[in-house]
Amino acid sequence: MPCEQTILGKIIYGPEAEVIEGYIVIEDGIIKEVHEKKNDSGIIIAPCFVNAHTHIGDSVCKDPVLGNVHGHFVERDLSQLVQPPHGLKHRILNRTPHKKMVEAMRNSLEDMNNTGTYAFADFREGGTKGIVALKEALESSDLDARIFGRPASDAGKNDISEELETLLDYADGLGMSGANDMDMEILENARQHSLKTGKTFAIHAGEHSRSDIGKALSLDPDILIHMTQATQHDLKKVADMDIPIVVCPRSNFITGVGMAPIVDMLDQGVKVAIGTDNVMLNSANMFSEMEVLSKIFGIEDRQVFMMCTLMGATILGLDAPGYILEGNIAKIMIINGNSNNLTGIRDPISGIVRRGRPDDILSVMI
């Protein structure tokens, strides 16, 4: 017997995120009907978030030293924190037992679920073992994951092809570190393997220096991550090549690499999605990313919301397209517009983007 549910409220509807008053009918996980109907409900029905760039293996270390400790300043730059193979995170990952790693990942998956995220892309360190650990964690989760693996840090040129083939058997694609962190021969080999298997090739580029952007573009990647230091010339080339970019505003701020030129990316017509990046530096809370994008970057609220939903789903090629429409898979969050935090807002999208919090969510349907 079909399972049907009807929800009344203000609906953030369609690929343009239009706000309408009405009700939505969900049957067996599919949006069957959306009807406009005037109502005074405080409920907001919104598509769930897509977190387009994470490293949730970092869940085993959530409090790295970043600044003052007992009155003494401790310098910790990006390479010391996350650069393979000897950055802090990699040293911690290498000595973390499998069981503890999986349990920490499960905590982060549950946190994403509770904060309105239905899908994410993880750049999984640790070779095949790292992918297996995440898949084990996902067994108890309803989240949709795109797992982009990378070779183990000790893999050399001679044995990389076999490892790449194994990674691509297990993963949805490859998620490589920057071209300054790895030998270009290995990266070129990795790109060829991804093309041969028809799987995604994503790479970090231009995070703390633009010196690796040209190398990354020479690989014709499917997705670029960060591009914090990109120039107008770089972005014009990215737009011409039709390569989407995933940016991580809070992470870039914390690591001190600067502010990604997101407005310029959008002006050039680049597809842009949002990620929270390393769990060791940030919670996987997309509300926090939206507030930064709106208030600090000055990006229009509807555009911010779409980057955190529709664009992430589009770039990752998800089955659920990241917006509410008849026939789509229902991946929605029910938000209390009458919460102490949100009561009095005039525009549901602006309210959610500028001041929304996880505790405003009444329920998540994924």
For 287-329, the pLDDT digits (tens) are 999 999 999 999 999 999 999 999 999 999 999 999 999 999 9
Give Dmax (Cα) for the chain: 66
| pLDDT attached to residue 155 | 53
Q: Judge residue 233's burial from the number of C-beta atoms within 10 Å of its C-beta, 0-12 exposed, 13-18 middle, 19 or more buried.
A: exposed
| pLDDT attached to residue 69 | 44
| pLDDT attached to residue 73 | 39
* Token pair listed for 29: 């996980």
The residue behind tokens 């995604």 is 200
CB 314 within 8 A of CB 321: yes
| pLDDT attached to residue 61 | 83
User: End-to-end CA distance of the chain, in Å?
Assistant: 20
Low-confidence ranges of the chain (pLDDT < 50): 68-75
φ, ψ of residue 179 to 5 degrees: the values are -65, -15
Is the whole model's pTM more than 0.85, yes or no?
yes
| pLDDT attached to residue 63 | 75
CB 119 within 8 A of CB 316: yes
Question: What residues pair up with 20 in beta bridges, in sequence order?
Answer: 11
| pLDDT attached to residue 151 | 92
| pLDDT attached to residue 154 | 54
Q: How far is CA 245 from the centre of its chain?
A: 11
